Structure 1
Amino acid sequence: MAACTTTLTLPSFFVVVVGALLFIEIVTCLSSTARSINGGFSVQLIHLDSPKSPLYDRKSLNPNTPQADVNANKGQYLMKISVGTPPFDFYGIADTGSDLIWAQCVPCDGCYNQTKPMFNPTNSSTYIPIPCGSQQCHLLDTAACSPENTCNYTYGYEAGLTQGLLATETVTLTSSSGQHISLQNIVFGCGHNNTGSFNEDEMGLVGLGSGPLSLVSQIGPLFGGRKFSHCLLPFHTDPRITSKLIFGSDSEVSGDGVVSTSLVSKQDPTPYFVTLEGISVGQEYVSFNSSGLVSKGNMFLDSGTPPTILPQDFYDRLVEEVKNQVDLKPVEDDERLEPQLCYKSETILEGPMLTVHFEGGATLQLTPLQTFIPPLEGVFCFAMTNTDSDVGVYGSFAQSNFLIGFDIETMVVSFKPADCTKQ
């Protein structure tokens, strides 16, 4: 979920609400402080009602590795952290495409429906509004002074908009040994006006980008550097199954099958840009650009955007090759599914294997489980869509069942095939 430069159009079942096949405009607005703790910082990816299940061998984790629950929910991944004193449980979208950490807060002048209670800053003894003249306030381009001299913010997403007050708060996590770890003075947005296609389980958002306000950047110095890894569960995974997201020195992705590619620095510090050279459909290679020339940083990795979004020309050529290799007739008589490439099948679609080719020789094999998503019973749609932009998005559907490690210190991202449901 990137936080504003390009307008994308895709079906809403690819965004937040699975099965709602209405089209929406998606605007991609690409836009530390405590004692040192050895080890890494881990965040557990779970469904709302799931029992805990380890992703890594706990014997290999430093006992000071903090953990937090995260919920897989309607195409998104909700990270559970505790905010404030006393701790208030908060489920926010785990989003590598943005930076700001924010929650819906009382009073809420214009908020979307939320099932769980909203965060009330007056109940927290550690909630401190940030003055508008502070350096922290100016880390956000859209911040402005309120009449009370506090720092107001506006932050936009493809799924909506949040407006509110920047503050510092205490974030509490649980270590791998079961101990509570409190992180003080984390910059946090208290959203008093939040609109868009957020669902009722999403209490806000946890930015995991590489900009200065993200959770990764704020806690990185405490846990061995700005590093983290995640293993995203496939779409429609049993809600009782869990996975983890780990930050810091314990997040290194290693072992057999690991491939790596470089992260590309651009003017916007938030997104994790990589260079995609092409995608093979079976044995047929489809280059990113018809000319064969590839620009550095032509895609970014985004856990907050479910589909992979490709420039129009590349998408058209890729879809044509997929059609050539699927021995079924595409659905052409259902307005709910157009213009996506969809097929009717009583079982999981037996589509071709896709191989993603990143710069540096890193190749990832994607199965139909990662490339065809069932928005309706008996219907499977290609989990990629198009944009008029020349920069695309590598979404969470394609990232599922890979252990992916981001190392901002060395500017490398690593991938390792994994069954995230059995870790």
Structure 2
Amino acid sequence: MAYPILFNPFLLFISFFILLIHLPVHQAVNDGFSVNLIRKNSITNTLSQRLMDTTQANSYANLGEHLLELSIGTPPVKIYGILDTGSELVWTQCVPCPNCFKQLNPLFDSTKSSTYTNISCQSDNCHQEYTGECSPQNTCGYTYAYGDSSITHGVLALETITFKSSTGKPVQLNNIIFGCGHNNTGVFNDHEMGIIGLGRGPSSLISQIGSSFGGKKFSQCLLPFHTDTNISSKMSFGKGSEVSGDDVVSIPLTNGTLYFVTLLGMSVEDTRFDISNNHETIPKGNMFIDSGTPPTILQQKLYDEVFNEVRKRVPMNPITDDPDLGTQLCYKTPTNLNGPIITMHFEGGDIHLTPIQTFIPPKDGVFCLAFTNTSNENRGVYGNFAQSNFLIGYDLERSMMSFKPTDCTK
């Protein structure tokens, strides 16, 4: 199974997390997907317009996670799923749902969609690592588990998904594989309706739609923590999603079905801490880029070095008498503190993080360092707090990621 880590933000600063990297081996999916742009023009004009469009979707900050807005079914029904580069499956809660977490919006009712089709047990699409269960109705069942013990169980189906575009016109893709979850448990809040898997596996959203939009690539601009929920940012897919400019840093991805890059070390202002004195001995792919994990999780030695240096650099006394905060480095201040610049030294270039990305308020008047530690000495996680206010491009075909500092609220 793929490995996303989904964290409860209210426990974020009072507990440590164990990093469990589990690399999957997936069978390839070789389905074709058609694109229908909703137009009244001729076929020639439709094709020309398609080349001018960039397919997009809105995303929103939500309690340490980011929700991606998509529409599924015919007629289209909006769903809001956790934007997760650390997993593969696209799924939402569906009627009937005898054991589901509470959500504010109505559950998706497949009986009201004219384009919903169950995947049979004999279909090639049913031969996934997370499938294999067959119902008496010959529908393909799935069970997908996550690193925080969240689990979704249901049936695989084909459905139409509707996106937005840069020209304001809707874009429809048919026969997208998704999970209709009927039994879902774990760490979810009532604004969430499922998970949108954006990993590199064959049934992820980007792998399925890439050929229709000019390549397997996308870009996202994650909003900072506690951004007004009425503010959205854009995720772009395929042609037009490229990240360019003089201040872009491009970082190579290592092989695999998830997004692994190589971290060489970190600096707090001008004080640098290298993972190893010999860069040739640093494990390749030692940092996992995951939009579904809020904090950045560092190997213990590196975490201790950064923690101690940040404490030296902040001219304030940290909070030591609040049991809810545990051992986290936190400060009482009405506004975000003037903390040091923290630099991530990746193979390929440096990413400079400001306090808006490194200090997060778990409660009013308190700001805490948005890093935690793991006992896994080989791999860490680059979480979504550190990714906020960067336009980040993922190019699966070139195996590259690109980072550009951006105000994602604009």
Does the pair score TM above 0.5? yes
When structure 1 is superposed on structure 2, of 157-166 and 274-283 the one drifting more is 157-166
| Structure 1 stretch displaced more, 185-194 or 116-125 | 116-125
Relative distance call for 1:61 and 1:315 in structure 2 (3 A) is farther
Aligned to 1:355: 343
In structure 2, the residue matched to 1:100 is 89
Asked if residue 386 in structure 1 is aligned to residue 364 in structure 2, the reply is no
Once residues 118 and 330 of structure 1 are traced to their aligned partners in structure 2, the CA distance between those partners, rounded to angstroms, is 45
2:330 and 2:362 map into 1 onto residues whose CA distance is 10
Deviations 1:344-366 (A, max 9, x none): 22331111110111102x11110
Distance 2:296 2:132 in 1: 31
Q: Which residue in the other structure is 2:170 paired with?
A: 180
CA contact (8 A) 1:128 1:167 kept: yes
Give the match for residue 340 of structure 1.
Answer: 328
2:142 is the alignment partner of 1:153: yes
User: Is the contact between residue 84 and residue 198 of structure 2 (CA under 8 Å) also seen in structure 1?
Assistant: yes
Distance (whole Å) between structure 1 residues aligned to residue 321 and residue 132 of structure 2: 48
Q: What pairs with 1:257-276 in structure 2 (closer than 5 Å)?
A: 257-266=247-256, 269=257, 271-276=258-263
Aligned to 2:62: 73
Within the candidate set 311, 331, 347, 2:299 is matched to: 311
What is the alpha-carbon distance in structure 2 between the residues aligned to residue 106 and residue 213 of structure 1? 22
Q: 1:336 to 1:105 in 2, by over 3 A?
A: same
The residue aligned with 1:11 is none
Which amino acid is 2:34 matched to? R
Corresponding position of 1:368: 355
- Alpha-carbon distance, 1:238 to partner: 3.1
CA deviations 1:272-296 (Å, max 9, x no partner) are: 1000101100100011247763110
Could you say which residue in structure 1 is the equivalent of 2:27?
Answer: none
- Given that residues 83 and 198 in structure 2 are in contact (C-alpha distance below 8 angstroms), is that contact kept between their aligned partners in structure 1? yes
Deviation at 1:382, TM superposition (A): 0.6
TM-aligned CA distance change 1:222 to 1:23, over 3 Å = same
Residues 1:284 and 2:284 aligned together? no
Instruction: Report the equivalent of 1:51.
Output: none
Structure 2 CA distance for aligned equivalents of residues 16 and 227 of structure 1: 29
1:82 Cα deviation from its structure 2 partner: 0.9
Question: Which residue number in structure 2 is paired with residue 328 of structure 1?
Answer: 316
Q: CA deviation at 1:90?
A: 0.7
Aligned pairs, number: 389
Further displaced range: 206-215 or 289-298: 289-298
Correspondences of 1:47-196 after superposition (within 5 Å): 63-159=52-148, 160-196=150-186
The Cα of 1:320 is off from its aligned counterpart by 1.6
1:251 alignment partner, one of 220, 241, 244: 241
- Tell me what 2:216 maps to: 226
Q: Which amino acid aligns with 1:34?
A: F
Pairwise CA distance, 1:135: 1.5
How far does the alpha carbon of each residue in 1:163-186 deviate from its partner, in whole angstroms, 9 at most, with x for none? 110111111123222322221110
132-141 or 183-192: bigger deviation: 132-141
Comparing 313-322 with 246-255, which one deviates more in the overlay?
313-322
Cα distance change of structure 1 residues 17 and 319 upon mapping to structure 2, 3 Å threshold: closer
For residues 122-165 of structure 1, the C-alpha deviation after alignment (integer angstroms, 9 at most, x for no partner) is 11121111112221111334442233332111111234111110
State the SS of the aligned residue for 1:357.
strand
CA distance in structure 2 between the aligned counterparts of 1:349 and 1:168, rounded to whole angstroms: 48
The residue type paired with residue 33 of structure 2 is A
Distance of 1:334 and 1:291 partners within structure 2? 40
CA shift, 1:102, in A, is 0.2
Task: Quote the offset at 1:239 in angstroms.
Answer: 3.2
- Equivalent-residue separation in structure 1 for 2:92 and 2:170 (angstroms): 21
TM-score, normalised to structure 1, is 0.86
2:393 paired with 1:405: yes
SS in 2 for 1:110: coil
Return the letter of the residue paired with 1:187: I
Correspondence for 2:34: 35
Distance 1:99 1:216 in 2: 9
TM-score under structure 2 length normalisation:
0.89
Q: Distance in 2 between matches of 1:342 and 1:25?
A: 18
Query: CA shift at 1:240, angstroms?
Result: 3.5
Counterpart of 1:15 in structure 2: which amino acid? F
Cα distance change, pair 375–158 in 1 and its aligned pair in 2 (3 A): same
Q: Distance in 2 between matches of 1:366 and 1:161?
A: 33
Once the two structures are TM-superposed, the CA of residue 341 in structure 1 deviates from its matched residue by 1.5
- Give the 3 Å change call, closer, same or farther, for CA 77–243 of structure 1 in structure 2: same
CA distance in 2, matches of 1:224, 1:145: 35
> Which amino acid in structure 1 is aligned with residue 7 of structure 2?
V
Give the letter for the 1:16 counterpart: N
Q: Please give the root-mean-square deviation of Cα atoms over the aligned residues, in Å.
A: 2.4
Match of 2:205 among 208, 211, 215: 215
Tell me, which stretches of 5 or more residues in structure 2 are unaligned? Answer: 25-30, 38-48
What SS class does the counterpart of residue 127 from structure 2 fall into?
A: helix
Identify which range, 141-150 or 210-219, moves more after superposition: 141-150
> Deviation per CA, 1:163-221, whole angstroms, max 9, x where unpaired?
11011111112322232222111001000010111000000011111110111000000
Instruction: Report the Cα offset of residue 99 of structure 1.
Output: 0.9
Query: Once the two structures are aligned, what percentage of the paired residues are identical?
Result: 53
Relative distance call for 1:393 and 1:24 in structure 2 (3 A) is closer
Please give the secondary structure, in 2, of the residue aligned with 1:154: strand
